[in-house]
């Protein structure tokens, strides 16, 4: 019995799962975005919605953690009146926010 070729949507779901297993959440987001773009005529399945949630929670969570760390460093430098470092930190913090 021959196996059927997976649809592009099924292939992207599979790749999103692989990316999740590898901890590559930014790539997982890319695959899930392709799934959602291909689902314009039908809703995402529960599994696809869960993949979307996991992908974005992990990407955003990592950014939030980075921002909190930089914010803490900024406060320490402010308490030391280290204006040179504060400007650099704020520039970097802006990059993280973007």
CATH number at residue 51: 1.20.190.20
Report if residue 27 sits inside a domain: yes
* Residue 32 belongs to a domain: yes
Residue-level pLDDT at 40: 77
Could you tell me if residue 1 is inside a domain? no
pTM over cut 0.85: no
pLDDT tens column, 68-94: 999 999 999 999 999 999 999 999 999
Residue 3: what pLDDT? 75
Dihedral of CA atoms 90, 94, 96, 98 in degrees, nearest 10, equals 180
Number of independent structural domains in the chain: 1
In a domain, 2, yes or no: no
- What residues make up the domain containing 74? 8-97
* Contacts with 47 (C-beta within 8 Å, 6 or more apart), sequence order: 13
Q: What is the pLDDT of residues 15-56, one digit of tens each?
A: 999 999 999 999 999 999 999 998 777 899 999 999 999 999
Q: Using 50, 70 and 90 to split pLDDT, how confident is the model at 2?
A: low
SS3 40: coil
Do the domain assignments include residue 80?
yes
């Amino acid at each position: 019995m021959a196996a059927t070729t997976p649809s592009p949507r099924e292939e992207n779901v599979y790749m999103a799962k692989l990316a999740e297993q590898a901890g590559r959440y930014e790539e997982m987001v890319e695959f899930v975005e392709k799934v959602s773009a291909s689902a314009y005529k039908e809703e995402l399945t529960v599994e696809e919605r869960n993949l979307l949630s996991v992908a974005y929670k992990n990407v955003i969570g990592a950014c939030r953690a980075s921002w909190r760390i930089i914010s803490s460093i900024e406060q320490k430098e402010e308490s030391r009146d280290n204006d040179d470092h504060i400007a650099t930190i704020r520039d970097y913090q802006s990059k993280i926010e973007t």
